[in-house]
Amino acid sequence: MNRFLTAFRLWAVAFLVLPVLTVTMTPTASAAPFAAYVMDARTGQPVFRQNADTRLHPASLTKMMTLYMAFHAIESGRVRLDSRFTISSKAANEPPSKLGLRPGQQIELRYLIRAAAIRSANDAATAIGEGLAGSEEAFTQQMTQMARALGMNNTQFRNAHGLTQQGHFSTAHDMSVLGRHLFYDFPQYYNLFSRRSADAGVAQVASTNRRFLDDYPGADGIKTGYTRAAGFNLTASAQRGNKRLIATVFGGTSTAHRNQVMAELLDASFPRIPDRVREVRPQRPRMLSQATTRRAQVEPTPAATQPEPQRLVLDASPAPVARPAAAPAPAPTASLVASASAAPVPDLTEALRQAGASVATPAPAAGLALANSLRPRARPGSRVAEAVAEAVAEAAPAAEPVATASLAAPVLASSLRPRAAPNRERATGETATASLAAPAAAPAPVETAPAGSLSLNSSPPPRPRSETVILAAMGEGDLGNPESLEIVRRPADAGRGWAVSLGLFTSQAEAERALLSLALQDGGVLGSSRRNIADTRRGFDAQFVNLTRAQAQLACERLQSRARDCQVIGR
C-alpha cells in the first residue's frame, strides 16, 4: 500500500508540473519541454523518469563535463592545479555569466575551475577548454568522446560553457549519469560543488546553487543551468542516511519552481529505495591520450659489466718444495690426476705395483705441481680399490707434510677429497696417460686427462655465491693462528641509493596521495621503489627511494613528459 501511495505521489508531481509549465512558459521558452530523471546513486538504477531520453538544451550543465575533463587531465598528469592558462580574446569576450577575464591574462587552473563550478562563468569554461586541448573545437570533440565512454549516448557538445548552439544537446538521463561519475570518479574534488562561495583569483564568487543547498537538507551539489531555450535546469545530489539520490530536472520556469520540483522528486524517491544495498560503482573510462615517454640512455658502469670476484682467488700459488728422491719420480695414475710432479712416497709406489697397477714415469711438468694435494678415492667394489686404500692407509703416516709459507695451506689442507669420475667408455683414439688395470679382470677403463692438466673429471658443482664477502690477507707471513677475519655484509639495497623527489607538499596526506597515484601509473618502474616522505622545515618532501640510477632517471623523465616536476637525487 505504501509503495502504491509513493508511486501515485510521483505521478501526481509530474502531472502537476506539466500544467504549470504550459501556462507560465512564454512562446520563446516553449522549446524547453519538461524532463526529469532520478537514480539511486549507489547502484545507478532509475527511480523516476519522465522524458528522460529527450534531447534538450543542457545550458550550463555542460560545465559538468568541462570540469570532468579538467579533473581527468589533472589526475593523468597532463596539467596541475597551479598550471597557468593564458586567456584568449574568444574566452574573454564570452557573454555573461563570466568572471571578467582579460585577453592575455594568465591565471591558474584552480581559479578557473572554481569560477566555472561555483559561479558558472562562461569565460572560465572556455579558457579551460582552450588550455587543455589548444582550441575549443578540439576540446568539444574530446568532450563528446568522453560522453560516449561514460555511456551518455544522447549527448553531443559544441562548446565548453553550454550556451545555446546548433547540435549541442543532452538528456536528463545523461546528465544524471555524468553527475554520478563526478561523485565516484573524483571524490577529492566533489566538495567543490557544495561550496557557497570561493576565491577565484581575481574575485570572490558566489554559488548559483546556494538556494537549493540551503533549503534542502542533505543536498551537496551539483550544477545549475539556464538559457531561454533550455529553461531552468538543475542536476542535484542529496544524501539521507545510507541513501543517496542523483536527479536532473530540465525546463523549469524559474529558479524557485525548479528547486521546488527537485525537492518534491527527491522526497518522493527516497522512500522507494532500500536503506541497505550492494554498492555498484561506475566503471571509469579509459584514458583519451597517453603521453610520449622517452627511455633514458644510461652508460653502463664498469662495476655493472665486470663479473664479481670469487670468495678466494689464488692468482699464483707459491711453488711447493719437492722432497729429494733417489729414484725417478713416477707419473701419477689416471685416478690421481690431481697429483703433482713431486716424487711419491716409495712405500706407496711399491704397494701400487704389488696391487697390479701400472705406474708410468713421464717427465714432470714444471710449475704445475701441488706437493700436498689430497688423493681422490678410488672406485669402490674392486680389488684394485681395496689394495690402493690399504696402501694409502699404511703410507699416510710416512708422508710428512711439506711446510709452506702461504696462509692458504690450512685452507687447502682441510678441503674435502674430490670424488672419482663415474665409469665412462674410453673414447676411440690414443690416450696421453696410463690407466689402472688389474691383471685378472680388466675393469672398465677410466677416461684420462692430458698430461700436465690439473682438472678433475667430476668435481662437485660450486656452491651459490653468498652475499658475504670475506676479507683476508693472502701474502707471506707467520704460519701461526691468523687474525680474525672481518666479515662485511652487503645490504639488500646495495646499488639502489638513488631517489626521485616530487617536491614539497603542504601536508603529509597530500604527499602520500601524490606518491600513491604515480606508483599506480608507473608500476613498471616505480614498483620496486619505496615511498618516503621527509618532514622538512619547508614542507613534506615526497620521494621514491631504493632505485638504481637508471631507474630514477627513467622514472623522472616519464614524469616530466606529463608536465610533472621531479628531481633525481643520490641518497
C-alpha cell at 403: 711446510
Contacts of 381 (CB under 8 A, 6+ apart): none
Mapped onto helix, strand or coil, the DSSP state of residue 348 is helix
Burial environment of residue 32 by CB neighbours within 10 A (0 to 12, 13 to 18, 19 or more) = buried
Strand 243-252 relative to strand 468-471, pairing = unpaired
Q: What is the rounded distance in angstroms from the CA atom of residue 477 to the CA atom of residue 405? A: 7
CA nearest to 541, candidates 510, 563, 519 = 510
Instruction: Kindly list the catalytic residues.
Output: 60, 63, 120
Residue 288, φ and ψ in degrees, nearest 5: -75, -40
Which three three-digit cell numbers place residue 84? 597557468
Q: How far apart are CA 567 and CA 499, in angstroms?
A: 8
- For residues 284 and 334, the answer to whether their CB atoms sit within 8 Å is no
For residue 299 the three cell numbers come to 652508460
Counting other chains too, the contacts that 210-217 makes at CB distance below 8 Å and 24 or more residues apart are: 211/255, 211/256, 211/259, 212/236, 212/259, 212/262, 212/263, 215/259, 215/263, 216/259, 216/262, 216/263, 216/266
State the Cα–Cα distance between residues 274 and 42, nearest whole angstrom: 11
Residue 73 sits at the vertex; the CA angle it makes with 70 and 75, to the nearest 5 degrees, is 110
For helices 136-150 and 172-185, give the axis angle rounded to 10 degrees. Answer: 90
